[in-house]
Amino acid sequence: MPFLTPGFRHLFLVLTLLFCACAGAFAQKTREQLEREKNENQSKIREIQNILKQTSSQKNVNLGQLKALNQQINTYKKQIDLLSDDLELLDKELRVLEKKRQTLDSSLNKLKKEYGHMIYEASKRNTYFNQLVFLFSAGTFNQLVLRYKYLKQYTDAREDQVEEIEVLQKQVAAERQRITSKKSQQKTVLNTRLSENTKLEGLKTKQNEVIQELSQKEVELRNQIAENKRATDLLEANIRRIAEREKRERLERERKEREEREARRKAERERLARENAEREKKGEAAVVEQPKEEEEPVISSGMSEEETTLASSFTASQARLPWPVKGFVSGHFGQRPHAVLKGVMIDNLGVDIQTTAGEPVRSVYDGVVLDVTEMPGMGNVVAIQHGNYMTIYAKMNGVSVRAGQKVKARENIGRVATDSDGTSELQFQIWKNTSRLNPESWLMHR
């Protein structure tokens, strides 16, 4: 009978809507990830804009300005890619919503059709016989009860269908509103992407202008490269001097500890010899006793237990170290082609991180300050020891730490210096003993 089918129909509808909800939940998770990436990239855009504003305030164009322009172009490209992903995701969400709306519309139409059929059947029954006649014409009391239950069930079924229709109508209206909202959101994202494209083209034009102007300063750029090379060589020599000094001190400490252990063994042997000599005078038997052998400490490269623990902890922090300063990597590790001069390679001992003037510099990990010095072309340089690792912070001023001082991770150690071109750039390096490492593989992803 028609009024017995709503339960099955309701089950089918619930399963259908559950599938749509699951699809929506998956899209929502992707939506949250995408929004987070867009917000993070937008923060980078604002950060680089401040850096670019500082370098662009100089009368003459400089490499710092070009580096900031290059980075800003990259962030805008990424933002446009994220907006394209956003549009694609909105299309998927709209398709899910439209499918859900169609399912609801279909169920609503079926309900209305069934309800109309029930009303028609009820009107026919009311025409041919009265419900009271139908009830009291029963042959037995049990038949009367069954007929009464039948009529009540029929009435309840009609009321349930009315309620279902009302619920579905509200759901359809809500889905249509969500679809309208998504389409509006889609239009906003599309307009934003067009706007970002316009900004990107403007940056590319400015980039070409800066490159052309810098290309006319070849002699000046080559002199700058030579000065930087001298400063870098001097810095590397100083770092190796510090590393060799630490190595000598560890070996000296290990030698002293070895001598102290040997002296203790010798004193123990002499004590036993004296005791046995005394016993021999008294006619007593000599004591057969071997000197207690001290366990040789396990020392890695001459490091103390505390240094070994710190080095192990530092090793485990690869790809998770905090950045020493806000900004972006303007000079990558190792050999790279010059930003303007063709055929010229630049060798970077670490990474350059371009930032704003006076930005605070922080230690990336717990350690001990090994050295604080001032060097031509590198400003103030701070070296911090982390077991057999060492982090170097150069091109600083206003250093707030001293040699021998213990520092904690993220503790301020000074501020970034600004050169004559208006560029504020930290030179950051990581060494293990006398080998230099790529800092980008140690810093956390941003």
Tell me: the pLDDT tens digits for 413-437? 999 999 888 899 999 999 998 899 9
Confidence of residue 138 (pLDDT cuts 50, 70, 90): low
| Per-residue pLDDT at 111 | 64
Q: Which single residue is written with the structure tokens 């190796």?
A: 240
Residue 321 near residue 365 (C-beta atoms within 8 A): yes
CA atoms within 13 A on the CB side of 92: 14
Which residues 6+ apart lie within 8 Å of 74 measured at CB? none
- What number is the average pLDDT over the span 301-326? 90
Q: What is the DSSP letter of 365?
A: S
Cα(332)–Cα(334) distance, rounded to whole angstroms?
7
Confidence of residue 165 (pLDDT cuts 50, 70, 90): low
Q: Is pLDDT of 302 > 70?
A: no
* Residue ranges of the chain that CATH labels 1.10.287: 2-215
Q: Is pLDDT of 133 > 60?
A: no
Residue 34 near residue 85 (C-beta atoms within 8 A): yes
227-252: per-residue pLDDT in tens? 999 999 999 999 999 988 888 887 88
66-70, 156-160, 175-179, 284-288 — which one is most confidently predicted on average? Answer: 66-70
User: 2-215 adopts what CATH topology?
Assistant: Helix Hairpins (1.10.287)
Largest Cα separation within the chain, whole Å, is 140
The helix, strand and coil proportions of the chain, stated in percent and rounded to the nearest 5, come to 65, 15, 20
Cα(433)–Cα(421) distance, rounded to whole angstroms?
34
Report the relative pairing of strands 367-375 and 360-362 from DSSP bridges: unpaired
**By mean pLDDT, which of 9-23, 72-86, 406-420 is the weakest?**
9-23
The token pair at 53 is: 């504003």
Candidates 426, 195, 201, 432; CA nearest to 323 is 426
54-73: per-residue pLDDT in tens? 887 777 788 999 999 999 99
Q: Is pLDDT of 214 > 60?
A: yes
Q: What does CATH list as the number for 218-245+310-441?
A: 2.70.70.10
pTM for this predicted structure: 0.72
| Per-residue pLDDT at 265 | 83
Q: Which residues does residue 372 pair with via DSSP β-bridges, in sequence order? A: 382
Type of residue numbered 144: L
| Per-residue pLDDT at 68 | 93
* Residue ranges of the chain that CATH labels 2.70.70.10: 218-245+310-441
Residue 426 near residue 394 (C-beta atoms within 8 A): yes
Type of residue numbered 74: N
| Per-residue pLDDT at 246 | 82
- What number is the average pLDDT over the span 203-231? 91
CA 257 to chain centre: 45
Q: Average pLDDT of the chain?
A: 81
